[in-house]
Amino acid sequence: MEQLNLMGACNAAQGIRDGQFSSEELVQACIEQIEANEPEVQAWAYFDPNHALTQAKKADQWRAAGKPLGLLHGIPVGIKDIIDTGDMPTEDGTPLHAGRAPWHDAKVVDLLRAAGAIIMGKTVTTELATYFPGKTRNPHNLEHTPGGSSSGSAAAVASGMVPLALGTQTNGSVIRPAAYCGVYGFKPSRGTISRQGILIQSPRLDQPGFFARSLEDLALLGEVLSAYDPDEPDMVPRACVPMQKVCIEEPPLPPKLALIKTPLWPKADADVHEGLAELAHHLGEYVSEFELPESAARALDWHQTIMEAEIAASYEADYERGADKLSTSLREQIERGRSITAIDYLRATARIPIVTEALDDIFDRFDAILTPAVSGAAPLGLDSTGSPMFCTLWTFCGMPCISLPLLQASNGLPLGVQLVGRVGDDARLLRTARWLAAAVA
């Protein structure tokens, strides 16, 4: 049997159900990995091994009593430290929120507990989920950034500390750290997962996501978390999508991929250019280059307008009472946001459905978009989390995105590529991603 801490969530859940090992044994293996690697990787904002083991023992007692088991029974999950947990602090990566202890779980945490998951601890976020880095380092090379803002979650999964972890994305905060840390990252369609109990940065753009070491594990977690929440304004009532079942199916026909370099292509480095070219050559007839519609040309500007205006509103109280405790980067974002006019903000928000509809036409011909996840491998140094520019358009439109760890940069660091799907077509995107991963294996 492989090391328990490196076992994927699907296999580990089956092993616990079959009695091959206990949740306590799995959690203990993860604790040992955390204790061995945390001094260097620094992925955790809060971690109490005794609390994790207490949860695991209760999960084992539940199973021993013959009670029904959830999809994630006994499986450890890391939670980004902007997602409320009723039994642990949620400090949002800022000294202004130090000691903050929510009374209730976020909806996603409530769903995890209902599925039997073990809430392992709180993973490091950048400052208020923006650009100023936290303490986390890239597990592949400690001198390089892990990305952000979901830095701790990506690093914890990449270093074998947990099989699953939650993050969020307002610009590139799931896809970028997944690409830098060499794991799978998934940001579902806007409105697929509830944001209740998650720090509000930008109500129009904030979207939960998660990390795993396989696509099947992403599908498992996505199925658990996509339950309808009437308190989430972006969600509509609908039947649960069987993400696991669809993910592992063979496509009825080989998928067609639209290679979209975007106007930012010259800003990507040689590793990205050569990696995408090699991938496209390998896939041959299943990839065709495609130009973005003109309506998407200014999406990055509109995204920045919306994000900074809403950051200014969301963090107004923090700015007013403690601007000196905020990073220069965040203060500048807030100050720019405070100067945005109502007409510019409304014009930008009005473009979201227009651009999304224009991009939707691509999927009449293609199953998914193949595009860079990042401009290159994780940058050297820890004073930046890298650029999210290759994620911005898709986040702006609320489209589902997956980062796949298929490439390697010339310096040996992992380099993810991104697949993007039609809004609401999350399960089929997972299936296409699984086909792509198998095609280049």
Note if 57 is an active site residue.
no
Return the structure tokens found at 390.
């290759």
- Residues 6 or more apart whose CB falls under 8 angstroms from that of 294 comprise none
Give the whole-angstrom CA distance, residue 134 versus residue 127.
Answer: 7
Burial class of residue 168, CB neighbours in 10 A (0-12, 13-18, 19+): buried
Checking DSSP bridges between strand 184-187 and strand 401-408, what pairing results, if any?
A: antiparallel
User: Which listed residue (22, 80, 153, 314) is catalytic?
Assistant: 80
Beta strand residue intervals within 152-220, DSSP E: 164-169, 184-187, 207-212
Q: Evaluate whether 392 touches 407 at the Cβ level (below 8 Å).
A: no
Return the structure tokens found at 198.
């998650």
Return the structure tokens found at 263.
């106007």
Give the whole-angstrom CA distance, residue 189 versus residue 421.
Answer: 9
Note if 267 is an active site residue.
no
Q: Measure the CA dihedral 207/211/214/218, to 10°.
A: -40
User: Which listed residue (173, 194, 214, 226) is catalytic?
Assistant: 173
Q: Is the dihedral of CA 23, 28, 30, 31 positive or negative?
A: positive
At residue 89, what is the residue type? P
- Residues 6 or more apart whose CB falls under 8 angstroms from that of 110 comprise none
**What is the number of other CB atoms lying within 10 angstroms of the CB of residue 187?**
32
User: Which listed residue (22, 149, 151, 214) is catalytic?
Assistant: 149
Nearest residue to 153 via CA among 202, 107, 112, 208: 208
Note if 149 is an active site residue.
yes
- Residues 6 or more apart whose CB falls under 8 angstroms from that of 87 comprise 51, 119
Just list the catalytic residues. Answer: 80, 149, 173
